[in-house]
Amino acid sequence: DAGVTQSPTHLIKTRGQQVTLRCSPISGHKSVSWYQQVLGQGPQFIFQYYEKEERGRGNFPDRFSARQFPNYSSELNVNALLLGDSALYLCASSRSRDWVIASPLHFGNGTRLTVT
């Protein structure tokens, strides 16, 4: 089975623009979560979606939004991009809504976003 796939792999945007990142979970996985990883730091949790509903939100501004589709794929949108939004954006999928105890997270290789 294919792993978690993210697109695009790399992206360059200008300050003030908007960006949409995409994630396809492993087949059979209904939960998708998003993370921001700034160079040299650990990932920061942004959102979790399960069965198309938001189940958790991290400490990110309202410029960040996401949604999950009936096929469980997901999009992360960021509006009014700032230089500080430059980071690796990771998507992870799992079978269960419950965090990690019920099923482990499987990560994609991320989208590297550069804001100039």
Partner 1 sequence: TQLLEQSPQFLSIQEGENLTVYCNSSSVFSSLQWYRQEPGEGPVLLVTVVTGGEVKKLKRLTFQFGDARKDSSLHITAAQPGDTGLYLCAGDTGNQFYFGTGTSLTVIP
Residues at the interface with partner 1 (CB under 8 A): 4, 33, 35, 40-45, 48, 56, 58, 90, 92, 99-101, 104-110
**Nearest to partner 1 of 35, 72 (CB atom):** 35
Query: Distance between CA atoms of 85 and 97, rounded to whole angstroms?
Result: 27
Contact 76, 66 (CB under 8 A): yes
Least separation in angstroms between residue 45's CB and partner 1 is: 5
CA distance 71 to 25: 9
In the complex, the smallest distance separating the C-beta of residue 31 from partner 1, rounded to whole angstroms, is 11
